[in-house]
């Protein structure tokens, strides 16, 4: 097996060459389109059975048009993420890197690039975000508990003052409770803020 065939067979995606039209009419595609997404290449090449945009998630098509259009104006490559609908119906996140090919007169001939399945990466990110949401919820519960602890410490200080000398030990305990609550609340808020920044 030659080098290119071997590498393309391991690739979680496909290479393409297409026209710069509204359907991104495919001229050539490697067989990863069928292996990963379930569509035979000859169904999409030349829009024989379906167009490439018809297998994209419809809400992502305008973004693709915008990104590709800007890149072609500047004659630069583009990289973007969007979703392709698998032949079985579920959506798969992909990343595309592509660019235009021009002739010696400066006329745009076609577009070409690679489209890679990154669904597993998105799933890991979603799982991590879910864990962070659970942690954030627990952090909020801790903050509520610490507010209650501070209130108890204030009340304990008042009772200790009323008790005079007999309450001196209780006053020390109340002060330690306040210090613990304040330092713990500061740490919990720092964690909560860091989580919000990571999610945003």
pLDDT tens track for 126-147? 566 555 555 555 556 665 665 6
pLDDT at 151: 61
**Among residues of the chain, what percentage have pLDDT more than 90?**
52
3-state secondary structure of 3: helix
Q: How confident is the model at residue 167 (pLDDT cuts 50, 70, 90)?
A: very low
Mention the CATH class of domain 1-120: alpha beta
Residues in the chain: 200
* Mean pLDDT for the stretch of residues 66-91: 96
pTM assigned to the model: 0.63
- In the numeric block, the tokens 């690039």 are attached to 113
Res 8: pLDDT: 73
Quick one: pLDDT at residue 108? 97
Structure confidence at residue 42 (pLDDT) = 96
Distance, CA of 112 to CA of 16 (rounded, Å): 5
pLDDT surpassing 70 at residue 54 = yes
Query: Where do the domains of the chain lie?
Result: 1-120, 125-197
Q: Please give the pLDDT value at position 176.
A: 61
Whether the per-residue pLDDT at 60 is higher than 80: the answer is yes
What burial letters (b/e) apply to 36-75, b meaning 16+ CB within 10 Å? bbbbebebbbebeeebbbebbeeebbeebeebbeebbeee
């Amino acid at each position: 097996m030659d080098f290119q065939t071997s590498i393309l067979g391991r690739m979680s995606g496909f290479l393409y060459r297409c026209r710069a039209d509204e359907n991104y009419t495919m001229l050539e595609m490697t067989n990863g389109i069928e292996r990963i997404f379930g569509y035979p290449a000859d169904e999409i090449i030349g829009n024989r059975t379906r167009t490439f945009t018809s297998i994209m998630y419809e809400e992502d098509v305008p973004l693709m048009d915008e990104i590709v259009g800007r890149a072609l104006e500047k004659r630069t490559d583009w990289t973007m993420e969007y979703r392709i609908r698998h032949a079985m119906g579920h959506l798969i996140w992909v990343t595309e890197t592509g660019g235009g090919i021009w002739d010696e007169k400066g006329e745009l001939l076609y577009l070409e690039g690679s489209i890679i399945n990154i669904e597993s990466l998105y799933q890991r990110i979603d799982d991590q975000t879910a864990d962070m949401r659970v942690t954030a919820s627990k952090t909020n519960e801790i903050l509520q508990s610490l507010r209650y602890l501070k209130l108890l410490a204030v009340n304990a200080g008042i009772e200790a003052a009323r008790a005079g000398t007999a309450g001196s030990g209780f006053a020390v305990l109340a002060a330690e409770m306040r210090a613990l609550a304040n330092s713990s609340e500061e740490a919990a808020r720092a964690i909560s803020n860091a989580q919000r920044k990571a999610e945003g």
